[in-house]
Amino acid sequence: MSAPSRLGRYPVRRRIGSGAFATVWLAYDEQLDSPVAIKVLADNWTEDLHARQRFIEEGRFLRKVESPHVVAVWDAGELPDSRPFLVMSYADQGTLADRLELDALSVSQALHVVGQVGAGLHALHQRGVLHRDVKPANVLFRTVELDGEPQVSAMLGDLGLGKAMDMSSRLTMIGGTPSFVSPEQAQGEPLDARADQFSLAALAYLLLAGRAPYNHASLRSAADPEPPPPLGNGLPDATEAVIARGLAKDRDERYADVPAFVAALTESLAGRATDEPPTWLPVDPELTQPAPQGELFTELSDQPVASRASRRRLVGVGAAAVVVGLLGGYVGHEVLNTERTIEDTSGTISVTVPEGWTRAVDTERWVPPGAEVDQASLSAGSGEGWNTNDDPGEGVFVGLLQGESLPTTVPQHPECDPPRPVDRDRRNGDAYMTVEFTGCDDDGFTFERVVQVTADRILWVQVRARDRGTALRVLDEVKVAGVGASA
């Protein structure tokens, strides 16, 4: 895909990210002398009136709010082929998800982020808008100047699931990210601002504890969560109490609003937070500037892997201006230069994989062995034969199959060392089993995982990777939405 020379009146510099529903480009506002991010609806959705309306609604929701902690929409337009586009704030320092890949946050940094995200949510709520998908990938960082010093500021992006509160009280589309979504949202109940408060409390838990409070594999398990484990890290009992109240299953037990939650959290950590340097997230000058005018666009797939990896270690993906997720359940279809989220044709399964794993993608349904009915599935790998012993590579397969209980065994891999002990447990209501194989194809790793996602449905995941960390990240990014008896 080559870069357009212009989008409307804006000259294009390079692509920031793309997904199933939209592509985001870094462009330049010549009149205001400023870089901007432009989100364009994907051409395969041009004729879908519902998709177009959802895209335009995101811009309208964002335009209602004037806050430094919500991505701003400066302009909107339509291309000659009738595709709408939104001109938005350019976040030059990546996302919170990128930042957490580098290192955990200190207590002060965590409060800094929670406070600013909370301010963005409150601004949305004041204008009658729910976000409904607060998570690290939707918290964007940009560089601002305060008293002549650069400072990193957090802002909320991606209102693809955003909804006006008066509409949420009448008709609510089930959506959200399972590990952060409130129980009432997972159940499809009418929503109010306390649903976003729950998600913010889950985000605060993640930043303070270094792990998410839940690891739901589906919205089904998110609908009836168990109390999360203690925060740990020597945090005060008062902080535990504040987080627990924000994560209360019954929304009536939560705080009255987001500012009340943030104030209580801040007070509970009095004495634990210290002043942080304004540039606690390192600023990368190369990423904060748009490419020189006239620079040729280069496809990411043509860039050396080493250069992409070293660039990521600086500030994650840096130029992630707006997560491209839009429509379709709780799935976020974002590509942040080195990763891509793909979903099957039915929108039931999604997984985020390294960009190099998208050379061979199959999103069609499959017929499980011994079955007669096809089921949702997807596969993505580094090449056509990634999951064969003849031409092994890296990749992931995810598929649903019928089953009222977990199998006693999983596929074996003679090319690997004997498997490690089986990890079998129940996590957030879903029974699961994971088997790890090491020493595969020159010290690679293969994981087999099965999860009981409904009473009669099992999710099977197979991952092959050269390093264990990548395999585990891909496993954790497998998502399932809307699985029912008829799926």
Q: Which residue has the tokens 């293969």?
A: 446
Is 224 an annotated catalytic residue? no
Asked if 359 and 383 touch (Cβ cutoff 8 Å), the reply is yes
Look up residue 136 and give its DSSP letter: G
Asked if 196 and 176 touch (Cβ cutoff 8 Å), the reply is no
CB atoms inside a 10 Å sphere around CB 311: 19
Residue 39 assigned as binding residue: yes
Please measure the distance between the N-terminal and C-terminal CA atoms of the chain and give it in whole angstroms.
Answer: 34
Distance CA 345, CA 175 (A): 17
Contact partners, residue 480, CB within 8 Å, separation at least 6: 217, 218, 348, 349, 400, 453, 459
In terms of C-beta density within 10 A (0-12 exposed, 13-18 middle, 19 or more buried), how is residue 285 classed? Answer: exposed
Question: In this structure, what is the dihedral angle of CA atoms 447, 453, 456, 457, given to the nearest 10 degrees?
Answer: -50
Which of these is catalytic: 133, 158, 196, 430? 133
The angle formed by the CA atoms of residues 480, 327 and 53, to the nearest 5 degrees, is 160
Which residues make beta-bridge pairs with 362? 379
Q: Which residues of 360-392 are buried (b: 16+ CB within 10 A; e: fewer)?
A: beebebbebeeeeeebbbbbbbbbeebbeeeeb
Which residues make beta-bridge pairs with 87? 38, 75
Distance CA 450, CA 470 (A): 19
Q: Which residues are catalytic?
A: 133
Residues annotated within a binding site for ATP: 39
